[in-house]
Amino acid sequence: MEKIWGMNRPRSLNNLKVALKVLWDHYAPNYNVTRKMPELRFGPGVKYHGRYLSYTTAQEKGQPWMIELCPGQRNFYVLIHELVHALGPNQHGVKFAEVYHDVLSHETTKDIMGSSLGQKFLTFLKSEHPEFVKKAYRNR
């Protein structure tokens, strides 16, 4: 499974669209999200503190949300992060960490998260966002 999905390797737009569809179809109903799946595109990103970052944004009323992945961030890790924003939690807080954990526990990602790359990613989450991860795991 890791060879198909890859976590931190750059992926093609088509591969990431497939991943987004699988996860959106599963999670949007679970979180009562009735809008259409976000449009996924490659773009320059948004400049923040001197570097470019990927982002998720709502478009005009009635239009789908959009996820833009910038160069260097066109991988499964960043896609999942932006997907969580599209599902609802705009800020990086407890709710975001809970949804993020839920998505990473999805059967599609279990093989990935069981891999050495996945374990490195969970270690990263715990070290970079310990207060959020601790709160998200508190009731599990």
- Cα-Cα-Cα-Cα dihedral sign, residues 77, 47, 45, 100: positive
The domain ranges of the chain are 2-138
| Burial zone of 53 (CB within 10 Å; 0-12 exposed, 13-18 middle, 19+ buried) | middle
Does residue 60 or residue 33 have the better pLDDT? 33
**What average pLDDT score do residues 3-25 get?**
79
Question: Between residues 109 and 102, which one has the greater pLDDT?
Answer: 102
Confidence label for 106 from pLDDT (cuts 50, 70 and 90): low
pTM above 0.85, yes or no: no
- pLDDT higher than threshold 50 for residue 18: yes
Per-residue pLDDT at 47: 94
Distances (CA, A) of 25 to 55, 91, 109, 126: 20, 23, 14, 28
Distance, in Å, from the CA atom of 75 to the CA atom of 117, rounded to the nearest integer, reads: 13
Amino acid, res. 24? W
**Per-residue model confidence (pLDDT) at position 1:** 36
61-84 mean pLDDT: 89
